[in-house]
Structure 1
């Protein structure tokens, strides 16, 4: 995955970071390791085994922590700035090499902003859940958030590839159609 497709995937992964910080980072690491997405040169370490193992551990710890009563609300207070940073980081990892100032500015806009908007929604949802149910429904909210982060991360990687395949199929179809039309025109074939 290169160019604009990787940037689109990065934006989707950044939005997923608003639900859970480490799930989309783990997805990015797996995608980089398997070659599904091309990480920028300074982020190649993200596709290493140590990074992958560390992100698996962090993802499992984050998911588990959100099931501990009242810890989930405490995590929300640090998750907001962390989600902004994760979204920015994810976008920077897929942007092509460029001036560092420009790269991080674009990453903050394209990654930090979506992550922040989604995270604000999760904070409001968890706060409402805590206020209306005394926190009893928070494990359900946590499950939905983790599941949504996972689905969003997967879709962020799959949809750009599907769009690329569809565009390629349309281009091939149009090329074949134009070629057939060109071959049918009278006077273009040599006399037998």
Structure 2
């Protein structure tokens, strides 16, 4: 049971990094610093004051930059690399004392969860920008940040609920990525002058 809870916590935190790479790390850092959770070496470095300051600065920059059209697209491209790395780190930190699961398995699962969520996020944002002229970007970004924070807390304190939300987000991410690929293919066909089949 402890193994399942640790894995649920890990995947919840990894999924949250797909929505915001820095908030889950900062949340773990602050909670560890406050003594609400315990981190073993080498993950206890997350609670170091310098690490916490760096994460806070990165979280603020990401929070502001993600609200600005065009800048958010650059952040999303960077996030395709940063989010899986952050997801692996925070997932391994959550599963640090679980011996039943190999750390490589946890890391791979976390990378997939974070990358999938980040890819869905990066896929939907251009469509939202095009549909609303960028006016809905800030609102969507606020929602993503709030969800990342809440999911991080749930992953730590109520991991089973976080895991259920993670499964729902995985399904949504799959549908969004699939829809984005379909729209891209249709646009490519239309550009090439090929009539779209009914």
**In the comparison of the two structures, how many residue pairs are matched?**
158
TM-score (norm 1): 0.73
TM-score (norm 2): 0.71
Q: Following superposition, which runs of at least 4 residues in structure 1 exceed 6 angstroms of deviation?
A: none
Shift of residue 4 of structure 1? 5.2
Give the CA RMSD over aligned residues. 2.4
Unpaired stretches in structure 1, ≥5 consecutive residues: 163-192
- Aligned twin of 1:158: 157
C-alpha distance after superposition, 1:139-192 (max 9, x if no partner)? 111111111111111111121499xxxxxxxxxxxxxxxxxxxxxxxxxxxxxx
Q: Is 1:6–1:37's contact at 8 Å kept on the other side of the alignment?
A: no
User: What SS is found at the alignment partner of 1:17?
Assistant: helix
CA distance in 2, matches of 1:123, 1:6: 28
Q: Is 2:84–2:115's contact at 8 Å kept on the other side of the alignment?
A: yes
Once the two structures are overlaid, the 10-residue window that deviates more, 83-92 or 14-23, is 83-92
Shift of residue 6 of structure 1? 4.0
Q: Is 1:6–1:38's contact at 8 Å kept on the other side of the alignment?
A: no
CA distance in 2, matches of 1:110, 1:81: 15
| Distance change (3 Å), C-alpha of 1:8 and 1:39 | farther
Q: Is 1:3–1:96's contact at 8 Å kept on the other side of the alignment?
A: no
Larger radius of gyration: 1
